[in-house]
Each structure stands twice: as C-alpha cells, then as structure tokens.
Chain A
C-alpha cells in the first residue's frame, strides 16, 4: 500500500517567516494532494500535483512534485496566523491515503 511520510510532525514559526513541509512516498506518486484541516473540521483542498516537476501556487502557498514523483513539498511564504492548522498530504491508487500530518502554529 502507499505509504506517505510527512515532516516535520509539528512546526512553530513566527508570523512572516517562510516554511516548508515535506511529503515522501515509498512508491511513485500518480496524484499527490495537499489538504489543510483543523481537527474536528473537514478537509480544505489546497492543490493536486500529477506530473513530475510540477509546481502550483495559490496565494502564498506553493506545492512541488519532484521529477521522480516520490517527493512533494509545500512551501508557505510570509506565514500568517491564518495559515495555522494541520497540513495533510494524500495520495491514492484506488483509495486516498494520508501522511501523518504536520501541525503548523504561527505566532503573531
């Protein structure tokens, strides 16, 4: 089965700082999803990457998928308190599986 490792598990940054979250797969990824969540709430879809070397951006968040399609990174520029939450990477062959998540805290 697809196994996804996320790092770091938790991250505390000062407002305005940049940060990166990584997601590594044990197998080639054919679709890598990034979600944001607060526990007890639903998932907020951020981005989906499919092609090796693909990069997508939305506002201050950029996600990349490496050429080998086994690693993805999520980069937040000039973080804000509104970026706080749990970030999950997900991938699927038949069903969606998730990494362990990264808990982001942004200190004002």
Chain B
C-alpha cells in the first residue's frame, strides 16, 4: 500500500514555543491531507482537512490560528502548533488521500507531542 511518513515521530517542547510536524506521501500524490489528534484513551478526532494549494478547513472547536496547516505541494503538508501549551500534548496523525483510487486514505505513523 501507499506510504505516508511523519516527522518528527516524537517532540518535546517548552510551553510557548511553536512546533512543526511534517506529513509526506512518499509514493503517491495526495490532493487532500487530513490531520487528526488523539488524546490518551480516546479515539482519533479530525482536526482539519487541507487541499493542495488552498486553505485548510477546520473542524468545529479547532483554532485555525493555533494549528496552522500548509499543504504546499501534492506530497507535503505541515501542521504547526503555535504557542504550544501542555494541553496541546497529544498524538497527532496525518492522513493522505490519493487521487487514484479515489477515497483511499492512508495514515502516517503519528507524532507524539509533549509540551512541558
């Protein structure tokens, strides 16, 4: 199957700093990428959807100014957590959807963010 990578896999940062997480589709072009967040003992919750070259669409309750998403190319999307706080500590998973076959969605391995 198609491969989606995320970098970094783990990051620890101080409160107030910004953290960037990269999501790459390695062997296919992803017209749409999705960002999910998962808190301990909870399921994955969709944060936002991004289409290459356009602004991301955020789910209700997700602050777009805090979670900046850039989908600059068909193989790369980035999520920047700005002015991170301890409550932002979570597991972030990206997903990419290939143009063909439509609706196939592939998931990255996730990034564990810890904000001290």
A residues neighboring B (CB under 8 Å) = 31, 35, 39-43, 45, 88, 92, 94-101, 103
In the complex, which of the residues B32, B34, B95, B107 has the most CB atoms of chain A within 10 Å of its own CB atom?
A: B107
Interface presence of B21 (CB below 8 A): no
Count of chain A to chain B residue pairs whose CB atoms are closer than 8 Å in the complex? 45
Q: Which of B43, B103, B109 is A42 in contact with, Cβ under 8 Å?
A: B109
Question: How many chain B residues touch A (Cβ–Cβ < 8 Å)?
Answer: 22
Q: Which of A35, A39, A99 is B40 in contact with, Cβ under 8 Å?
A: A39
**Top-10 shortest CB links A-B:** A42-B109, A101-B43, A43-B107, A98-B43, A100-B43, A98-B44, A42-B110, A96-B105, A95-B49, A95-B34
Interface presence of B42 (CB below 8 A): yes
CA gap between A88 and B44 in the complex, in Å: 9
Interface string of B86-115 (1 = CB under 8 A from A): 000001010100000001010111101000
Q: How far is the CB of B116 from the nearest CB of chain A, in Å?
A: 17
Q: How far is the CB of B101 from the nearest CB of chain A, in Å?
A: 11
Q: How far is the CB of B41 from the nearest CB of chain A, in Å?
A: 7
Q: Which of B34, B41, B91, B109 is A96 in contact with, Cβ under 8 Å?
A: B34
B residues neighboring A (CB under 8 Å) = 1, 32, 34, 38, 40-46, 49, 91, 93, 95, 103, 105, 107-110, 112
What chain A residues lie within 8 Å of B108 (beta carbons)?
42
Q: How far is the CB of A63 from the nearest CB of chain B, in Å?
A: 17
